[in-house]
């Protein structure tokens, strides 16, 4: 199921000990700016937590609605951590059947009279690095218990294996549902929640942090300009007002896609209201 796994190796540039853990690196996530500051108090708290835990090895649970940037946050934590030179593996739990997910995470051993097939799982492969499990709340409870144990005791046993294998893997799990909602509502069992991670970061949906939209729009425009090699693109006051009024059910990802669409439609000049996606004129609006 390699299509559902993402493997990346990062190498950390030397940093001043007094510098921000999110600054001064050679490899910088393209939308990292969205995690550097916020005018919203709740989001400020979340960003402060991310910056403080980035330099540690502690496991992390990141929650928030779809599109709030949970995986972006996980990547940023890894890149700013002592593990940045190690492997970062991201697993889409929702995209893999449970029996295959267990094999992907823990690996397997198959020994026959004529062959030996040993395949390490993602926990082993990301040892000395970071393993990101997206939408961990969708994992069946028996497998959740095994994941929680591996994260807590830093030890795994491959399927059909006989021995425990020591690992040194940081686990970052993400969820789109509240973790305390209970298993029947997409949450986690309490015994898993307490073993999985001591740190919980909740990202704020965009409709509750509208004050950040102008800053985010400018940042996305700069990122698009660099990525596409285009000339600087501006956004008109009227188009920005439309962005401020829209509810953005897809949050940061939704806004970024809309700005990229508008950047193409405006022919690399100034984004006007008519360049924004059509759904913004009759879609979800602020009440």
Token pair recorded at residue 76: 């940023």
Q: Count how many Cα atoms sit within 13 Å of the Cα of residue 270 in the half-sphere of its side chain.
A: 7
Q: Which tens digit of pLDDT belongs to each residue from 136-171?
A: 999 999 999 999 999 999 999 999 998 999 999 999
Q: Which tens digit of pLDDT belongs to each residue from 168-178?
A: 999 999 999 99
Average pLDDT of the chain to the nearest whole number: 87
pLDDT tops 60 at residue 17? no
Question: What is the structure's pLDDT at 29?
Answer: 56
Q: Which CATH class, in words, describes the domain spanning 207-282?
A: mainly alpha
Q: What is the CATH number of domain 2-204?
A: 3.40.50.300
Q: In terms of Cα–Cα distance, which of 136, 123, 131 is closest to 63?
A: 136
Using pLDDT thresholds of 50, 70 and 90, give the confidence band for residue 25. very low
Domain boundaries, the chain: 2-204, 207-282
Q: Rounded CA gap, 43 and 203, in Å?
A: 7
Are 145 and 192 contacting, i.e. CB atoms less than 8 angstroms apart? Answer: yes
| Greater pLDDT, 27 or 90 | 90
Give the distance from CA 187 to its chain's centroid.
18
Token pair recorded at residue 95: 């995209």
Q: Which tens digit of pLDDT belongs to each residue from 234-271?
A: 999 999 999 999 999 999 999 999 999 999 999 878 99
Question: What is the structure's pLDDT at 278?
Answer: 95
* Helix axes 237-245 and 251-265, enclosed angle (nearest 10): 150
């Amino acid at each position: 199921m390699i299509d559902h796994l993402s493997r990346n190796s990062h190498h950390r540039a030397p940093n001043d000990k007094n510098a921000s853990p999110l600054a001064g690196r050679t490899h910088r996530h393209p939308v990292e700016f969205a995690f550097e500051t916020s005018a919203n108090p709740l989001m400020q708290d979340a960003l402060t937590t991310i910056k403080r835990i980035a330099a540690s090895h502690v496991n992390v649970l990141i929650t928030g609605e779809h599109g709030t940037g949970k995986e972006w946050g996980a990547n940023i934590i890894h890149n700013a951590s002592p593990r940045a030179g190690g492997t970062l593996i991201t697993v889409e739990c929702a995209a893999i059947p449970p029996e295959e997910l267990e094999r992907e995470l823990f690996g397997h051993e198959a020994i026959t009279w004529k062959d030996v097939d040993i395949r390490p799982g993602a926990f082993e492969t990301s040892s000395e690095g970071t393993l990101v499990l997206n939408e961990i709340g969708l994992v069946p409870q028996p497998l959740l218990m095994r994941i929680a144990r591996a994260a807590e005791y830093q030890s795994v046993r491959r399927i059909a294996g006989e021995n425990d294998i020591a690992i040194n893997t940081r686990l970052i799990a993400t969820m789109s549902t509240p973790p305390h909602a209970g298993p029947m509502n997409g949450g986690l069992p309490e015994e898993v929640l307490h073993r999985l991670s001591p740190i919980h970061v909740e990202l704020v949906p965009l409709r509750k942090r509208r004050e950040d939209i102008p800053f985010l729009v400018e940042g996305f425009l700069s990122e698009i300009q660099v990525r596409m090699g285009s000339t600087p693109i501006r956004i008109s006051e009227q188009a920005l007002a439309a962005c401020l009024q829209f509810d953005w059910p897809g949050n940061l990802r939704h806004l970024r896609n809309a700005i990229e669409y508008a950047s193409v439609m405006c022919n690399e000049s100034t984004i006007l209201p008519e360049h924004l996606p059509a759904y913004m004129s009759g879609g979800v609006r602020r009440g």
